[in-house]
Every structure is written in structure tokens, then in C-alpha cells.
Amino acid sequence: MKGAVKYFLKRWRNIGNGRETGSTESFCNLQREQENGSVLKTHSPAEFNRLQQQCSSRSEDFDTLEEYIVESKCPQINIATLLIVILLIVVFIVLPIVYLLHCFGLLNSHWPADEFNRVLTDHSHSDPRKDRVYNFDTSYANQNYIKSVYKPKEYASHKDGPKHLGALKLSPPPKPTIDQCTRVSDSLRFDCYPEEGANEKSCANRGCCWAKPNYTTDEPIDDQLNIPYCYYPLQFKGYKFVNVSETSFGSTAYLKRTFSSSYPKDARLLKMDVKYESQKRLRIKIYDPEHTRFEPPFPEVPVVEKAASNPDYRVFIDESQLGFKLSAILPSHHIYGLEESRFWLALMTIWQRFTPFNSDQRPRENVFNSVNIGGFVFADQFLQLSALLPSQFIYGLGEHRSSLKLSTSWQIFTMMNHDQVPSENTNLYGSHPFYLVMEKSGNSHGVFLLNSNAMDVILQPTPAITFRTIGGILDLYFFLGPTPSDVVAQYTDVIGKPFMPPFWGLGFHLCRFGYKTLTETKEVWNRTRAAGIPLDVQWNDLDYMAHSSDFTYNQTTYAGLPQFVNLLHQVGMHYVPLIDPGISAAEPAGTYPPYDEGLKLGIFVKNSSGQPFIGKVWNPIDTVWPDFTHPKTVDYWLDQLKSMHDKFQFDGAWIDMNEPSNFWSGSTRGCENNSLDYPPYTPGVLGGKLFFRTLCMNSEQHAGKHYDVHNLYGFTEAIVTSFVMSEIRERRPFVISRSTFSGHGHYAGHWSGDIASTWYDMKRSVPEILNFNMFGIPLVGADICGFNGNTTPALCQRWSELGAFYPFSRNHNSEENIPQDPVALGPAVVQAARKSLLTRYSLLPFLYTLFWRAHVDGTTVARPLFFQFPLDNLTYEIDYEFLWGSDLLIVPVLEEEGFILKGRCRKLLSSFVYKILFSCSQNATQVSTYLPQSLWYDFYTSTLVSHGGKNVTLDAPLDTIPLLVRGGSILPMQEPSATTTMTRKNNLYLLAAVDELGVAAGELYWDDGDSLNSYEESLYILLKFNLSGAQLSGSSAHWGYPGVLTLGKVTVLGVKQPVTSVFINQAATGFSYDTINKSGLFYRTVKDIIWRWDIRKEAKTLAYYHPILAHDSETWIWKKRLQAAEMSILRVIENETRRDRIRDGLEERVKRKRFLWLGHEWSIERLRKPYRTKRRVEDLLEEDGPSVGGQGGDRRDRQEWKMCQKPAEFLTVENLSVQLSEPFTLHWEFNVDFLVRMINSGLINRHTTQDSEYLLIMLYPSWWLPMTVMP
């Protein structure tokens, strides 16, 4: 013991004499000196890490005297010696340890592994004033018309250079403590030094932490490289709240800068307006109240002055912290059942619609949590905000090439509109600072940053997001869903609902850059029509122009163009030419009116000296650009397009190169050295400079510096062009633009630019289409067969099939490549294009109705699977198939090889080996896909493909793209013809596909297809169709269109019984009933299913299935879709106590409610004696019946299992002539004797999720049997 004490005293003396340099104590003293304002000694990173480990381990060396005795193998001592030792330990060990703990800030804190998350998210005692709900009405601005309803009175921009944001000089940021740095895990690091050239010294000057990440072996290399070395410390507060108050629209808070941000011209005072704009929409606007800053004049957002009453969200602001937290509240009842403290039986009767007795309203996850997240900065040219997100399933943030689900591996998404061949990890043609998140609960929300400046958005694995923009303000909109479709609808409430395209715009379009003459254009047009391929619109690239100059046509190579356009109109077709924004600036005065008149009006973008900014695009020498934010540009553009329309009557406008693109970077001499073209921080733009292949940022426009409005250029051109086209033609405008911004879909469509002719580019086009539908731009497509490079017949065959189901369908390619119109590539491509396009044309009434729904409700036309199945997390990453609406699934073949390896199996093989192994297996004729839980019918054969909930393999002949119709839908269709004009004259027909309950529904919107504001002026027809039991009916919800609609055919999929007779409006009519394509399926009685149900030890689910019900591992969420008969849900857990609760609950329910099946005494009794077998659920589906084992088994039950041949039956009624202006009813009859034998029969289907496996048991009352029970 004496030796131990002597050693310790010697150790302590050495520390006091400073002999142990770099020791824990000296290091701690240095840290203390730092906190007191002293200069911190510089340590190398290695030395810093060593000292940090010593500090953290020092307090853990000797927790007890016994441990030290054992470790030192000390001899036993008497009591007196022990007391002396204890005293010495207190003086020389305990007190120093306490001192060390205090030094490192650990004395009064807890330090679990997730402490940082707790500090950020746990603020249970927030200001109660922030939770107050205001009882005010909400006003909205009409977004259905082009007419402006709100414009800022003036624009604030960097017209006179950046403004000084206050003369107060701020102190530098404080140095972080060791504790503030070490408690930040890798995934919670927010980059403090996003520029190049970070090092330990420069990082310390910003008050941030510098440390090498703690890599793990399972982290991808890219993730490791992207983890920041310089990151914000814990509790980094550059601002503090100085005042929070209530207002009529919500609340207002002021924030004061506490120290400098290391970026020039910090805003010393900020104002944060929290506006409860609607029940589902929140707006938080953070800006400088002392200095006017640029705010985008477009899109024209609704103005709300009073708070919404009882919103479905709560905003939490703690004045002692920095930031805010937004939480959403479930709008519907949450059914709980897995909590020990609750009665867990979840029971609901749909048609009675009573509230489950064990349900309540609960908050969802934190939608957006910026509380104490380091790095909130608001400087003149650097604005940054970070927040924690509830899920890694994040979508949007366009325009970028990526998978549908965005990577959170420290991925940077740069937004700066740029003319760039689509490729990964670069900024492309459009900017859409909007994202959508799928939460773990199956709910969804979205966030939109209304800011048009160049920006980076960073996603990291936390999951967390960082917005980093170089101008404007932080104007955030939050959309609380709760479904993905709701989020998009709420988003388009703000940016504008999509425009209603003309009917002919949904036909097939044909174009090429390289039709050198009008004769060549005619040849392609004629051979396409001769091949029987539907075609509606012929396009021309800039080949038709004289000297590549707008508003002209070449009188030599395109002589006769006006006559050709007239011919197109005579055969019911249309014409769309290219119109670039760049105006030629080299013609002699008086020879080119577009340039002369623009100079006279002063509407061209100006350089810093006030002269027209000169660059270069396709024009032979110089180019200038109209300023579409200038009021006089509307008249200028109208005059030029009208002059062009007088020459040849084109029908739409294709506006390209409008990022704006420039073949020079700036002017001929580049750009001046100023803070706009060379800002303190440059986002990750291609080329490294903001003006790379575009205009100089200090160029002048009417709305402000080009620095602020660059991303709005193509958007404002689309607004002006849409208005001008409607004025000239007095018809619906049809405008397709390459450059886009949020709100673009209110005026125009989009195509995905200059993609390559590769299988990979075709595959990547699918998430591109789906993203732009989420951005509120449903009229979107990609160049079929690719634009750059030579395509192949095999690729173009499959791409023609996929492209037929792009919302905007156009074949287009470059002049440097081989022709790729279908006929040019041979009969196989012709056959595929003809078949798929005829199918598209037959579905045009359905597609047109979807566009109307998008125009009215803001929904999507093409949508991902998770939009329709938000509770099936297996759909969250699917971007190789998509839906039209909710009812038609398109499953394209996106791989050339017939044998396709995916995921890890594919990665195990090198690209070279893979090609060798499978080079002989090309031209795939099957495709594997996942089908969510629902009935899915083959569109072509009318057979039932699957009940869903599993992967299936579909046949895909070379000329066919697999299409599946979802059960429960009625699709309005038409017999297809060569053009949309001819197709509209044909009779309609209905394709109905029944669901598990034998019901279906659909609708049809119809108008003249081209008039302005048909819906707004009530000049339309809206028909509703419903199928239930053995009857299909239709009626008009609105009839304001003078045209005639005739129903000529009805097909019903899923008719389970042989039909004996069919009646239309009580009159007998002919029909056909198909019973081909049989498939095996088991069935047995309901009693046996409940008897054998509880066969595994974990939780099971017994469900009476209905399409309005959806399931995840913890929660049942109910949403009404169709009114149906009574059904229930029962979650069975193999636990005696809970089983008794179930039994008691059922008995009580039987007394109070009427149940068709669950109320039987035998079902309650069986719960008392469940089976104890370990056999899997699959055993119940064996052809010979399950092997009965365990306690209570009865082998006689085996005989009740049967195998039947289930025909995929469908009923077809043709040669009808039903006028849809009047209600109609179609019903059919069956053999009654057969129905009697089928009472009490049921169907069995297995459903598997990631964490559970259960059976779906379909039970039907007698009035459903004709449609749902098999023979």
C-alpha cells in the first residue's frame, strides 16, 4: 500500500512540476485557459487524439479501492492505515478526478451514446404560447388562371452590388471545448468548411471542430471520403432569440447575431414569421427586416393573412435554444395494439364507421428539427440551414440524374440551371428545391424552399438535410400530407396546379435534329403513317430556320413549309417548331426585325455598363437574350411569334436552350472580377464557376441581377410563351421547355434533354418522369430511343414500348446519329411502336382524365408505387415500374439480357465477366417485378396475374410491354385510330376490373380537347362509373359539353361465375364469357382457417381484406375509399392473457354490434386452445393439405382442403349503343343452384411482409357471391 501511495504522490508531483508534458492535467489546464480567453497551445492531430483519449480514460482508471488493490496486488493493511489511505485517496485521487470531470464538462451531464440526439430533440418544456391554435379563416389565391393575382410591388436584388448588412463589428466565434467536439458522432457532423482548402487552423478560426472521422469497415468508400473533417460543435449558436410574439397568422420571432459566421456581411438581426396557412400547410420565412433582399417574383404564391384553425401540426420554439421543431399530428385515428398497458384488440366496422374503442390521435415523428443544429448562417451571399429528418426515404431535389430514392451518403445536390448532357452528380436544366419524405409510419410530408439563387442541398446519413444558398432569403413551406399524393397536391396549391394540355398533345410526336430539308421531313412523316403507326405532331428542330435565327424559315431548304403545315391540319395533325430564346445580334440594321425591335424597346438582358449582353449560341456570330421579366417583353414576344404564325400556322412552341445556354462562359472576355461572378462560396456547379457556359451573374434584368434570377429565366420564358400562344391561337397553349423551376407545370411541359441512346439512360428516364410529376409537371417525357449516340433496334424496340407510356411521348435524336424513327430501324421496331402506341391511343380517355385531375386537384399522372401503397415499404425504392393514376401499372423491360442479375449478385461479377456469361442471352422476353397487395389483371389477356404482395415474373414478348390493371378500377377507353382527332370520333368502351370484394369504380372527363378554360367555364362532361355485385352503372356528375358520347363495349374482369344472361337498361343483350387460362388455388371453410390459425409463436394477423385497409408492422391506418359491408381486423398473439382479452372483447362486441362471422361461439372457444405446432404458414397451402401436428390436431380437417381450377374469367358485352348523356345500368345473372352450394366458402391468399407473414381470408355475404366466389 505504501508503494502505491508513494507512486501516486510521485506521479502527482511530476504533474505539478510540468515534467509530464502533454499530460491530462496540463492539457485540461490549457483547455481551461482557452475558456478564460487565453491562447490555446497548438497540438498536432495525433497528439490531440492521444490527449483526448487520456482525458476520457483518466476518470475510469480506478473506480474502487478494491480494484486498485487487486490490480497492484497490494498486501492487507490495518484499520489505521486504511483510514490514512482513504484520506490520501480523497485528497490525491477523488478531488483531482472531480476536477477533471468539471474541466471536461462531465460533472453534471449524462453521456449516453445518443446524448446528442437527446439534446437536440428533447424539449418537453417548450413555451406554451407556441402551441396555441388560432381560430381564423384561411384565404387562398386562385391558381387556375394565367392572370396574376399577386405580385411584389418592387424587386430587391444586387443591382448596386451587395449591401452591407449592418455596421456592427461582430466578435469571432468562440473556440469549442473538447466535450463539444467529441460528443458529435460521424453521422451528425455538419460541414463547417464546405469550400476547398480546409485545414485544422482554418477550421479552428471558424470556431469548429477538426477531427478525422471514426471510419468503420462496412462504410462505403464514398461515404468515408465525404464525411467532413471540419464540423460544427455541439450547441453552436450563431444567433439567439430575442423576442417571440403571437400574431394573427401565427407567431413572429426575432434573432440576433451573437458572433461572426466567417462569411462576409452577416445579418445582425433576423425576423422569422411562422404562418399557419392551412390545416396542412405551414410557412416559415426567415429574412433580414432591416435590409430588403431579393425574393422570387414567380411562382405567384397565395397570400394568407390569418392563421388556420386547428392545424395538423405544431411548431415548437424554445427561446433558450436556437432553431425550431415541427411535428405533425395524425389526422386519423391511430389503432394501437402492441402496447402492454393498453387493451390491444383493434376492431372497426367500416360500414357503420364507428371509432375503434382503443384508438387515439398521436403525433408523428418530428418532420423538421433544426434545434441546436450547428451552422445556421445568414450572410449576404451565404445562407445555411440544417435539420434532422425522420427518415432516409427522401425524394425530389431536382433536376438531377439519380435513382428515385435519393442517396443520403453525404450526397450534394447542386441547383443552378445549366445546359449539360444528363449525368450523375451535376446540376442539370432545372431547379426544384422541393423534397418529399416517406416516414416510417407510412405517412409523408414535403418541404419547399422558395429561393431562386444557386444552392447546394446536402443529405447525410443521420438522416439530415442542409440547405446552402448564396442569396435571397430562407422561405420554407411545409406540407403535412399525410399521403404522398396529398403532399404533391398541397405543393401545387402554392406553386400552381398543372395546366390542362390539349388532347392532341397526348398523341405521338416525331422529331429530329437533322431534317436538312422539308423533303426529308415529309419522307419520314409519310413512311411513319404508311406503317400504321399512330402519329399526331410533326416537329422541326432549328434546321427549318434561316441562319439559325428565330422567327424565320429557310426559303430554300424549307420552301413550302406553310403548305405542309396546312396539310397536317387537313388530316387532323399538328406542327411544333423550335424557338430558342437567343436572338441573332449580327445582322445589319433594318434586316432582322426581332433584333431591331428588341433594341428599340430595351428588353434585352444588359451587361454591367447598360448595353445588351452579347454571347453566342446557334446564331452565326453574336447572340442577345430577351429579358422575360421585363413587362415590355410580353408585347415583343407576342409580336414576333404572331409574325411567325402569319407565315405558317404552328400549333405549339418548343423552347430550348433557355437555362440560358451560352457557348461562351460569359462574354467574349469572360466576366468581370466581382462578388457576384466570384462569390465567397460557389456551389458545386459544373465548370466551377457560376457563369460557366451561361451569362455573367452581374448582368442586369428588370427583376434584378442575373445572379438572383438565373434559375427563373426558362420559367419566365415559359410563362410569356404560354400566354402569347393562347393569345395567337385562342386555343389551349402547348409549350415544351427544357429549363424549369418550381411552378413551371402551371404553364408548360418538359422533356429530359439530351440523353444518350443507351440502356442505362432509358432506365434512368423512369425516375426522371416520376420526379417531375412530383414537381407538379405531369406533361413530361424523354427522347424515345435517346438523343446522343446511335441507338440499336433492340434498344429502340423496348424504348418505343416504354415511351408510349411517357405522359409526353416523342421520338427525337441528334443530326450526328443514324435516323431512329421506327421505320428506319426495321420491322421489329415498327411492330413494337405500332402496338404500344395503339394501346396508348386506346387509353387516351383515361390519360386525359388523369391530366384533368392533375389540373384540378394537383395530383400526379405518372406516379411511383409508394404513392398508391404508402404502407408497403417494399415499394419505397422501386423506380423501374410506375403507375398511370392508381390503376394501370406499366412494367417496362429495361435490360437487354434475358437473364438479369440484380443487387449484390450482379455486383459480385465484374462488368467484363457479366458480359461474357450472358452475351448469348439477350432480347429479354420476361421481366421480374414486385406487385403490392391487390388484385392485378393482365391488360392484354384479361387474366388474373396475382393477388400481390410478392415478386412475380411476367411474360414480355419483344413487341409487348407488360401492363397490369389493378382490381377495383374502371378504365374509360376508346377504339384507337391513326390520330387523336380520328380517335375522338370513335365509341367509348369500359374496362372494369373487380377487386377482392367484387367492386370497382372509375370516371371520365371529356371536353372539346382544345378550348381555353373548358373546366373553369363548365364546358365539360364528367361521368362516374360504379360496379358492385353483378351490376355496372354509369351517370353524369356534370354535363356541360354539347358533344355526343356513345358507349359501345364493356369488359368486366374477374367475373367468377358462368353468366347466363346480360341486360342493358333492362333489355337483354348479347355477351361472351371467357373461361380460358385456368390457375390453381386452394380454398376451405372459414371455421377451419380460424381453427388452424395460431400456428407460430410470434404475432399473426387475421384480416378480412378490403382495398381501403393497409398494414404495416405496428399500425393499422384506415382511409375510406369505397363504402363496403361489415368487416373486422383481429391481431392474434400467442399469449394466454391477451387471448383472454380477445375472447372477452369479442363477447362484449357480439352483445353490442352485429358481426357476420366473428361472433360465432366456436371462434371464441378455439382461441382458448391454439395449436402448438411449429409448421410454417406455407404448409397450409400445400396441394395435399397441411400435415396436422401439435396439440389439438384433427386429421379429419385434412379432407376439407380442396384444390380447384380457378378460371381467369371475364365478361364482354359488345355492339352497344348507349348514349352516356343518360344514366345506364348493365347487369348479369347466374345459375342460382350453383350459388347455394357456394355459401360459406372462402378464398385463401398468403401475404408476406418484412417482419410478418399472414393469410388474407376473403369472406363474402350472399349478395357478393356472384362476383367473388369461385366455383
User: Mean pLDDT throughout 419-429?
Assistant: 95
Lowest mean pLDDT among 331-335, 677-681, 935-939, 1066-1070: 331-335
Lowest mean pLDDT among 57-71, 728-742, 1105-1119: 1105-1119
Inter-CA distances, 979 with 10, 505, 1039, 1043, 1206, Å = 98, 11, 26, 19, 40
**Distance between CA atoms of 742 and 433, rounded to whole angstroms?**
8
- Residues 126 and 318: beta-carbon distance below 8 Å: yes
Judged against a pLDDT cut of 60, whether residue 392 lies above it is answered with yes
Name which residue leads in pLDDT, 1079 or 737: 737
- Residues 508 and 803: beta-carbon distance below 8 Å: no
**Residues 200, 60 within the same domain:** no
Nine cell digits for residue 901 = 442479375
Judged against a pLDDT cut of 90, whether residue 913 lies above it is answered with no
**Residues 96, 213 within the same domain:** no
Judged against a pLDDT cut of 60, whether residue 889 lies above it is answered with yes
- Residues 850 and 884: beta-carbon distance below 8 Å: yes
Residue 1211 within any structural domain of the chain? no
Burial of 1156 (0-12, 13-18, 19+ CB in 10 A): middle
Neighbours of 569 (CB within 10 A): 13
Residue 189 within any structural domain of the chain? yes
**DSSP H helices in 992-1037:** none
- Taking alpha carbons only, the member of 551, 542, 543, 622 closest to residue 587 is 622
**Distance between CA atoms of 365 and 423, rounded to whole angstroms?**
35
Predicted local confidence at residue 1231, as pLDDT = 59
- Taking alpha carbons only, the member of 1015, 1119, 935 closest to residue 486 is 1119
Lowest mean pLDDT among 691-695, 923-927, 1259-1263: 1259-1263
**Distance between CA atoms of 601 and 620, rounded to whole angstroms?**
24
CB-side neighbour CA atoms (13 Å) of 945: 30
Name which residue leads in pLDDT, 1101 or 103: 103
Predicted local confidence at residue 623, as pLDDT = 97
- Taking alpha carbons only, the member of 656, 1012, 976, 648 closest to residue 810 is 656
Kindly give the pairing relationship between strand 269-276 and strand 281-287.
antiparallel
Predicted local confidence at residue 109, as pLDDT = 37
Residue 895 within any structural domain of the chain? no
125-134, 204-213, 1184-1193, 1233-1242: which is most confident: 204-213
**Residues 99, 212 within the same domain:** no
**Distance between CA atoms of 18 and 22, rounded to whole angstroms?**
9
Inter-CA distances, 110 with 105, 114, 118, 179, Å = 10, 10, 10, 12
**DSSP H helices in 398-508:** 484-495
User: Mean pLDDT throughout 416-441?
Assistant: 96
**Residues 1248, 1129 within the same domain:** yes
Judged against a pLDDT cut of 90, whether residue 270 lies above it is answered with yes
Lowest mean pLDDT among 25-34, 508-517, 1023-1032: 25-34
Exposure letters 754-776 (e unless 16+ CB within 10 A, then b): bbbbebebbbbbbbbbbbbbbbb
Predicted local confidence at residue 460, as pLDDT = 96
DSSP 838-854: HHHHHTHHHHHHHHHHH
pLDDT confidence of 652, banded at 50, 70, 90? very high
User: Mean pLDDT throughout 98-122?
Assistant: 41
**Distance between CA atoms of 954 and 963, rounded to whole angstroms?**
10
Instruction: Tell me which residue has cell 511530476.
Output: 14
User: Mean pLDDT throughout 965-994?
Assistant: 97
Cα 1215 from chain centroid (whole Å): 44
Lowest mean pLDDT among 322-326, 812-816, 1184-1188: 1184-1188
- Taking alpha carbons only, the member of 544, 533, 531 closest to residue 507 is 533
Lowest mean pLDDT among 1061-1075, 1204-1218, 1256-1270: 1256-1270
**Residues 1176, 1263 within the same domain:** yes
Name which residue leads in pLDDT, 1056 or 166: 1056
Catalytic sites, residue numbers: 656, 659
Burial of 685 (0-12, 13-18, 19+ CB in 10 A): buried
Q: In what order do the strands lie in the sheet with 749-751?
A: 780-781, 749-751, 735-737, 653-655, 574-579, 537-540, 508-510, 809-811, 783-784
Lowest mean pLDDT among 73-82, 535-544, 648-657: 73-82
Instruction: Tell me which residue has cell 381467369.
Output: 1208
**Residues 1129, 1254 within the same domain:** yes
Residue 55 within any structural domain of the chain? yes
Nine cell digits for residue 1085 = 371453410
Neighbours of 660 (CB within 10 A): 25
pLDDT confidence of 168, banded at 50, 70, 90? low
Judged against a pLDDT cut of 70, whether residue 1178 lies above it is answered with no
- Residues 323 and 130: beta-carbon distance below 8 Å: no
**DSSP H helices in 350-391:** none
**Residues 618, 723 within the same domain:** yes
Judged against a pLDDT cut of 70, whether residue 478 lies above it is answered with yes
**What pLDDT, in 10s, does the model give residues 746-767?**
999 999 999 999 999 999 999 9
**Distance between CA atoms of 909 and 1119, rounded to whole angstroms?**
45
Predicted local confidence at residue 221, as pLDDT = 52
Please identify, among 729, 763, 784, the residue that sits at the C-terminal boundary of a domain.
729
Please give the span between the terminal C-alpha atoms of the chain, in angstroms, as a whole number: 92
**What pLDDT, in 10s, does the model give residues 19-45?**
444 433 443 443 434 444 333 334 444
**What pLDDT, in 10s, does the model give residues 1116-1164?**
222 222 223 223 333 333 344 444 554 455 444 444 333 333 323 223 3
**What pLDDT, in 10s, does the model give residues 605-623?**
999 999 999 999 999 999 9
Judged against a pLDDT cut of 80, whether residue 1256 lies above it is answered with no
Name which residue leads in pLDDT, 1271 or 93: 93
Name which residue leads in pLDDT, 947 or 1102: 947
Name which residue leads in pLDDT, 784 or 85: 784
- Residues 442 and 255: beta-carbon distance below 8 Å: no
Lowest mean pLDDT among 191-200, 453-462, 547-556, 1191-1200: 1191-1200
Predicted local confidence at residue 222, as pLDDT = 53
Identify the CATH number of the domain in which residue 215 sits. Answer: 4.10.110.10
- Residues 424 and 401: beta-carbon distance below 8 Å: yes
Predicted local confidence at residue 99, as pLDDT = 62
Inter-CA distances, 249 with 135, 245, 273, 320, Å = 10, 11, 9, 23
Predicted local confidence at residue 1270, as pLDDT = 28
Inter-CA distances, 455 with 229, 472, 707, 757, Å = 22, 11, 12, 30
Average pLDDT, whole number, for the chain?
A: 78
Kindly give the pairing relationship between strand 809-811 and strand 508-510.
parallel
Neighbours of 433 (CB within 10 A): 24
% of the chain beyond a pLDDT of 70 = 69
Cα 529 from chain centroid (whole Å): 38
Nine cell digits for residue 664 = 461562351
User: Mean pLDDT throughout 632-636?
Assistant: 98
Name which residue leads in pLDDT, 329 or 50: 329
User: Mean pLDDT throughout 875-888?
Assistant: 98
Kindly give the pairing relationship between strand 780-781 and strand 749-751.
parallel
Residue 880 within any structural domain of the chain? no
User: Mean pLDDT throughout 263-290?
Assistant: 97
Predicted local confidence at residue 434, as pLDDT = 99
Angle at which helices 713-729 and 631-647 pack, to 10 degrees?
A: 50
- Residues 893 and 765: beta-carbon distance below 8 Å: no
- Residues 491 and 771: beta-carbon distance below 8 Å: no
- Three state DSSP letters for 201-246: HHHHHCCCEECCCCCCCCCCHHHHHHCCCEECCCCCCCEEEEEEEE
Please identify, among 200, 231, 262, the residue that sits at the C-terminal boundary of a domain.
231
Please identify, among 729, 757, 772, the residue that sits at the C-terminal boundary of a domain.
729
Predicted local confidence at residue 787, as pLDDT = 98
Residue 813 within any structural domain of the chain? no
pLDDT confidence of 1075, banded at 50, 70, 90? low
- Amino acid making up residue 784: I
Boundaries of domain holding 1201: 1079-1206+1237-1268
Predicted local confidence at residue 115, as pLDDT = 34
Kindly give the pairing relationship between strand 325-329 and strand 363-369.
antiparallel
Q: Which residues contact 92 (CB under 8 A, 6 or more apart)?
A: 8, 9, 12
Domain count for the chain? 4
Cα 570 from chain centroid (whole Å): 42
**What pLDDT, in 10s, does the model give residues 214-232?**
865 455 555 556 899 999 9
**Distance between CA atoms of 711 and 1268, rounded to whole angstroms?**
55
**Residues 586, 723 within the same domain:** yes
Residue 429 within any structural domain of the chain? no
Exposure letters 1125-1148 (e unless 16+ CB within 10 A, then b): bbbbbbbbbbeeebbeebbebbee
Identify the CATH number of the domain in which residue 594 sits. Answer: 3.20.20.80
- Taking alpha carbons only, the member of 476, 463, 388 closest to residue 121 is 388
User: Mean pLDDT throughout 517-535?
Assistant: 98
Judged against a pLDDT cut of 60, whether residue 638 lies above it is answered with yes
What pTM, to 2 d.p., does this model score?
Answer: 0.77
% of the chain beyond a pLDDT of 90 = 62
Predicted local confidence at residue 738, as pLDDT = 98
Predicted local confidence at residue 305, as pLDDT = 84
Predicted local confidence at residue 216, as pLDDT = 59
**Distance between CA atoms of 933 and 950, rounded to whole angstroms?**
8
Predicted local confidence at residue 158, as pLDDT = 58
**Residues 218, 79 within the same domain:** no
Residue 88 within any structural domain of the chain? yes
Judged against a pLDDT cut of 80, whether residue 356 lies above it is answered with no
Bridge partners (DSSP) of residue 1207 are 1078
Neighbours of 1061 (CB within 10 A): 11
Task: Give me the numbers of helices (H) and strands (E) for the chain, helices first please.
Answer: 30, 62
